[in-house]
Amino acid sequence: MKKFLYVFLILACTNIFSQGTFNIRLDPLVVTKSVAQGSQFSYEVYLENSDPFNSVTIEAKVEDVVEDINGMYNIAPAGSTKYSAAKWIRVDPEIFTISPGSGRQVTVNVSVPRGVAGGRYAAVVFKIVPPEQTPQIMEEAVGFAVQFQFQLASFLELTVETGRRRIEAYAVDFEVQKINEIPSLVEIANMIGKDATVFSVSVLNKSNLHVQTTGELTIKTSEGRTLVKMPLGSGRGVILPETTVKVRSITTRKFPPGDYIAKAVVNYGGHRPAIVETQFSVKGDAAQVEQTKVSDVPMFYIEPGNIELRAMPRTFRSTLISVTNRGDEVARINASIYPLEYDINGELVPIEDRQETVDWVEVSPDSFELKPNQTRKLRIIAKPPEDALGGYYFDLVFSSSNENVKTEFGANLLVYVGSDETIVKKLSADFHLIQPTTDGLNVDVLIKNDGNYHIIPSIIVGLEKVIPQQEEESGIILPESTERLVSASYSGEVPILPGAERIYGVMLPIQMQPGEYEVVARIDFGDSQPIILRKRIRLEGGEEK
């Protein structure tokens, strides 16, 4: 969904920018990292001046990041946002000159304070200092022509790892429009045609850190027959905290006149995706939908998201969960119980494709109303029969609808029937994919639950540069070693059920040069010993060998 395109051309149109045309390349555009409280780290940003004749002087500053409704990052004053990391960052050097046809590395130093949690964000902004002007008088020189200051940025996305993570996101609006009705998509309309239909779901991130979204859109007839399924959203799909972003599907498919149902499923890393459903009609060549407003869409929060119960056969066990209405309208909520099943990517299998559930679990009450900001406790009851043994997994679905839209939320009920001594927690894992790209390195880790109990793993994937054995002039031999270049972590809420497989994919943002590397992964799950994976790769001419 996010496309970072920076065209950096300064034309000789004023005496301030009379030196000609500059062509500056910056790498990386985005740095994503998980860090601990009180930690320090640094990374390099590389700038290249492709102009063969002119030097360029650049001033580096640290600013805040905000995200617009279309998912594009923009610059904001340092310290102006709630999740700012600008005060933690120092850039060295702050002012520098790049000679014609050469490059320069800039070091970004980050010091994470204690007592913080969740996501923090900043932008390292590089501004061109006009010829024969100092940074202090640049603003005075520009004056009313401040629009002629040119800059580009490298964005930093930090996750401060603590136990206080809150993953919460909502689908708050669902629109169906012709592409020519959306001004921001005019260039796409010119390429694919003005009759394309756009399905837009507005996703509000209420978490205390950024979420990464993927989605699926299903179009059905009014009788419920599935016509088409298509991806929802594109690009990285990152949404910053307390930000609303539209995730979209665009199709040139022609729908015959009639009434249709559009259902969107948006996965964001929570225990259950955000699900919203609306109706639209096609009359002639125009798709029309009765627009829903943000305040009309039911939003409610289920806590906890994963409910764990242990019981013996022929016993009674119960626990409480809370349901809170986050919306602005009274919500009528109905509860249903389905078997819990995920596909290999950790996404819920459609309800109609799941197996039958057992009849010894219930929710009380299963139908109720909630006023705005009201919370209600519900009792979850399990009565396993005499022949029950092992893990049983349920999808508790809470749905609410109004005249325009229907939405679903839910919780996972994880029941183990048997004594603690019979529980077996066992995983096996291996690298499924290691693929260099122009933006970095894609790594997929395949994990299988070989035990009889559900597992929620945490994963760290890193890339290390192999430093060959070296002999110094003194005759001392330095043994082969490795240097950690970049890492990424995953810690979600979606369990791997017994016998199931799961693929965890990460993208390590780094420009890899030819040489030998080692990809490493660590999988932690409960009190068991972690699984460590290592694989060496050699990059030659941009391709893995």
Judge if 94 and 206 occupy the same domain: no
Last residue of a domain, one of 290, 316, 341: 290
User: Does a structural domain hold residue 126?
Assistant: yes
The range of the structural domain enclosing residue 220 comes to 169-290
Please count the structural domains in the chain: 4
Judge if 188 and 151 occupy the same domain: no
User: Does a structural domain hold residue 393?
Assistant: yes
Last residue of a domain, one of 372, 390, 422: 422
Residue 429 CB burial class (10 angstroms; 0-12, 13-18, ≥19): buried
Peptide bond into 28 cis (omega under 30): yes
User: Does a structural domain hold residue 8?
Assistant: no
Q: Give the pairing of strands 531-540 and 441-449.
A: unpaired
User: Does a structural domain hold residue 513?
Assistant: yes
Contact 170, 260 (CB under 8 A): no
∠ Cα 85 90 94 (to 5°): 130
User: Does a structural domain hold residue 269?
Assistant: yes
Contact 160, 129 (CB under 8 A): no
Judge if 157 and 35 occupy the same domain: yes
∠ Cα 52 55 56 (to 5°): 125
| Dihedral over Cα of 460, 414, 371, 333: its sign | positive
User: Does a structural domain hold residue 101?
Assistant: yes
d(CA 524, CA 456): 9
d(CA 187, CA 181): 12
pTM for this predicted structure: 0.76
Q: Across-strand partners of 65?
A: 75
User: Does a structural domain hold residue 220?
Assistant: yes
With CA atoms as reference, report the closest residue to 70 among 168, 169, 149, 186.
Answer: 186
With CA atoms as reference, report the closest residue to 485 among 23, 31, 13, 7.
Answer: 31
Judge if 285 and 311 occupy the same domain: no
Judge if 260 and 389 occupy the same domain: no
Judge if 282 and 304 occupy the same domain: no
Last residue of a domain, one of 379, 403, 422: 422
Judge if 97 and 126 occupy the same domain: yes
∠ Cα 418 446 532 (to 5°): 85
Low-confidence ranges of the chain (pLDDT < 70): 1-22, 131-149, 163-165, 284-296, 541-545
pLDDT at 113: 94
pLDDT at 132: 58
Judge if 37 and 152 occupy the same domain: yes
Judge if 105 and 201 occupy the same domain: no
Q: Both tokens of residue 322?
A: 């809370």
d(CA 384, CA 105): 63
Judge if 215 and 277 occupy the same domain: yes
CATH of the domain at 47: 2.60.40.10
Judge if 201 and 283 occupy the same domain: yes
With CA atoms as reference, report the closest residue to 39 among 171, 161, 131.
Answer: 161
d(CA 77, CA 460): 33
User: Does a structural domain hold residue 140?
Assistant: no
Residue 29 amino acid letter: L
Judge if 286 and 305 occupy the same domain: no
Mind spelling out the 3-state secondary structure of 251-280?
ECCCCCCEEEEEEEEEECCCCCCEEEEEEE
